[in-house]
Amino acid sequence: MGFAFSLFNSWQAETVKGDIPMTKQKVLLVGHGMVGQRFLEALADRGGLDHYDVTILCAESRPAYDRVGLTRYFTERDADALSLVPDGFMAQPGLTLKLSTRVREIDRDARVVITEAGERLDYDKLVLATGSYPFVPPIDGNDRPNCFVYRTLDDLDEIIAAADQARIGTVVGGGLLGLEAAKALHDLGLETHVVEFAPRLMAVQVDDLGGGLLKDKIETLGVTVHTSTGTRAIVDGEQHRHRMDFGEDHHLETDIIVFSAGIRPEDSLARASGLELGERGGVVIDDYCLTSDPDIFAIGEVALWQGRIFGLVAPGYQMAETAAARLCADSEPSFQGADMSTKLKLMGVDVASVGDAHGQTPGARSAVFFDQSTGVYKKVVVSECGKKLLGAVLVGDANDYGNLLQLCLNQIDLPGEAAALIAPAAGDAPMLGADALPDSAQICSCNNVSKGALCAAIDDGATTVGDLKACTKASATCGGCAALVKQVLDSELAKRGVEVNNHVCEHFPYSRQEIYHLVRVGEIKTFDELLEKHGSGDGCDICKPLVASVLASCWNDYVLSKPHAGLQDTNDYFLGNMQRDGTYSIVPRVPGGEITPDKLIVLGEVAKKYDLYTKITGGQRVDLFGARVEQLPEIWKILVDAGFETGHAYGKSLRTVKSCVGSTWCRYGVKDSVGTAIQVEERYKGLRSPHKIKMAVSGCTRECAEAQSKDVGVIATDKGWNLYVCGNGGMRPRHADLLASDLSDEQLIRTIDRFLMFYIRTADRLQRTSVWLENLEGGLDYLKQVVLEDSLGIGDELEAQMLQVIDTYQCEWKTTVEDPEAVKRFKHFVNDDVADDNLHYVRERGQRRPAYEHERIDLVQQEG
């Protein structure tokens, strides 16, 4: 945003409403959660850091992280993966972050904030983003040991530690957060109970029938639900740590109790400083998020707007944008409330609520579809005239959510009878296209991005979803609107005469899927042959590695043979991951994480001989870092002679199959997870695919191998194997979906064969299985039909194609070290055998690592 500075007066105590300071003023942000971070980003985007020095006072020891995704922490145990602060963001001039800094007092008269440590910080403007705190019901015994709340990463660490010594865990509260907490306890391997005072789960979002079905589905997953149940006291148990007394001789014994019975605004600072509060708490704000003090803003769950506290992140983000805009002298946007519609997946169960889900609008009428056998409940609420959608409830199948939400938000006349929107014949229910939406339609609720804003960005040159995400933040938070964003993009580009295609590049007028079929059906074995028959030009760095991957997926030839070597990217060309200093990693395969002492000794001897940095990874193998390119063949010769094979850490292929110790050693294990993991890894090693693939096998439902966060996850039960697919960690983690249950060993392998080959056949370039499934028409149900029911009649074909890959496997490093011509390519200089003399290292924790730039300069000066 540009600023007409000639119009602004210098900042005074009596600043004219709407002005921006000419000299830098001080802003204090109290609270650094999701909403606080969004405020900082919005202020920076508007150029506000040119005019304000912002100090952030964060009570926690970590900067802002994703509270919505807290349950991921139980499987990944990686706090950094939840961080919401982009690299380098806090290094911007004008930002100062103080962690573990609690505020004790606000002196409004002096415009000073006093921390618990006694530090006094003055401000010109103060922003309260203190959020909320968990409500703990006033029950006798609620402060006993092993009674927790579910709010911060520190809370989760305490729960994880306690779970190691527990067998039963209980959550008090059956709302959204309560069910998230229940999932966490269930994932920790505890017998899990949910105790809810109301007569149904998620009482705010769903009605009685929907809540009842949700209860049934969650209990089917192994969680016991107690509704209409209030806890009178918590006392010592006989068999377990606690006994929860419900009255009339009704009780429950448990080892852990997690309170997740709602939230309350954290308004104690505001209350003590005399700001206006609501009758039941919350700091009163106007449409610009200003409190009763014109120098103090309140945003997020601490703020009360027109008598309402908003407990979702999207309204908090809108408040953050509003406050930042106000500080930058922009009267727009003002906060005008927020839609509280939600779409969730709770313990694998789809749940959605739109608008007036309970039909409280006068004259409202409902249409209901309820199929208990399939576990699907849908209700739509329409106006008295029958032409407008007022609300909806969906349990078990939320595929209609996007369509219903747009009908409701934009008050579009219904395209037919209300019942047709949810009837099972349904596939023919009229769906809204992007063209039917007005410019005011909210496409991304998390970031309050309208269709009009997307169209404006397209007018300014955005031509991809990535462009739109970068300039508008649409689909950048939860990603739930990604399909609709793409729909708007394609529609608007077509209107502007821009051809919309999915061609991989200018050399091939085909998608990746089409190139795969051309190669497979035409039995094309080289890039040159494909280019001659179906392409043009010489190729590029997009199509060459793509075709190389497709050729490897189909025919599994040696990737460094003469026709293929020139297609590979740097990592595949040198069969190792290039590191930041130009050296490479050595990653042998360790199937299932099982390794003999002799092989461990070999790895140690190699690392010691070549002074390689050694790291045991999350995938249960040993990575050796710092090998120069000319050292790679001689190191791999030693490893191959010792029986190691390449781990394909450099390729878009199977990386690892993680395992727990299973029934071999663990007293909880019900099947041999190690043996199965080794079998699976040996079968699919070397399988080239559109993106990397990670797998895991857990020997029981305690899930120590974290299989439900993998592309392919296998979990043992007393009835067989459960197969989960399309999960992943990374920048946008996704919980895997259950594809099949109670599989025999033979059925498990056959199902994985079909799933992987169907993914390889149909996925886009560099598309993870998780994104592939989200974009697969028909979603998980369609995938089940293809893989389990063989609806396309290609099951035998997929299995045969997989068998061909398995039968033609070769260790690429073994082939390389046995071929003198192939070894010749491993040189730092094409015309000289000398090594790279520009490498500099420092010793740290007994190992060497690449020097950072400032260290490298010092080392060069010392050497010079």
Give the SS3 label for residue 116: coil
Q: Whole-angstrom Cα distance, residue 268 to residue 102?
A: 12
- Tell me: is residue 505 an annotated ligand-binding position: no
Element (H or E) spanning 352, and its range?
Answer: strand 349-355
Q: How far from each other are the two terminal CA atoms of the chain, in whole angstroms?
A: 49
Closest Cα partner for 252 from 347, 351, 132, 172? 172
Torsion angle, alpha carbons of 241, 246, 249, 251, to 10: -30
CA 740, CA 559: separation in Å to the nearest integer? 34
Question: 478: which 2 tokens?
Answer: 């939860």
- Give CA–CA dist 385/365, Å, rounded: 9
* Cα 14-15-21 angle, rounded to 5 deg: 140
* CA-based nearest residue to 240, from 251, 224, 227, 232: 251
DSSP letter string, 147-160: EEESSSHHHHHHHH
Q: Token digits for 126?
A: 């103060």
Cβ-Cβ contacts under 8 Å for 374 (sequence gap 6 or more) = 396
> What single-letter amino acid sits at 257?
I
Torsion of CA 494, 770, 746, 620, to 10 degrees: 150
How many other β-carbons are positioned within 10 Å of the β-carbon of residue 397? Answer: 21
Q: What string of H, E and C letters represents the secondary structure of 804-853?
A: HHHHCCCCHHHHHHCCHHHHCCCCCECCECCCCCCCCEEEECCEEEECCH
Dump strand ranges (E) for 568-653. Answer: 584-586, 613-616, 622-627
Residue 846: both structure tokens together: 């007994």
**What are the C-alpha distances in Å from 714 to residues 217, 684, 726, 743, 794?**
21, 14, 12, 10, 24
Residues contacting 33, CB < 8 A, separation 6+: 64, 67, 129, 131, 300
Euclidean distance between CA atoms 816 and 826, whole angstroms: 10
> Taking a C-beta distance cutoff of 8 angstroms, is the pair 650, 607 a contact?
no
Can you read off the two tokens belonging to residue 191?
């017998």
Pairing of strands 132-134, 263-265: antiparallel
Distances (CA, A) of 493 to 120, 463, 500, 506, 745: 54, 7, 7, 18, 49
Amino acid at 422: I
Instruction: DSSP for 458-524, please give it.
Output: HHTT--SHHHHHHHH-TTSSS-TTHHHHHHHHHHHHHHTTPPP---SBTTBSS-HHHHHHHHHHHT-
For residue 488, what are its two tokens?
Answer: 């708007």
| 704 is known to lie in a ligand binding site | yes
Which one-letter amino acid corresponds to residue 469?
K
The C-alpha atoms of residue 551 and residue 516 are separated, in whole angstroms, by: 8
Q: Residues forming the annotated binding site for siroheme? A: 704
- What residue numbers does the annotated binding site cover? 660, 666, 700, 704
Annotated binding site for [4Fe-4S] cluster: 660, 666, 700, 704
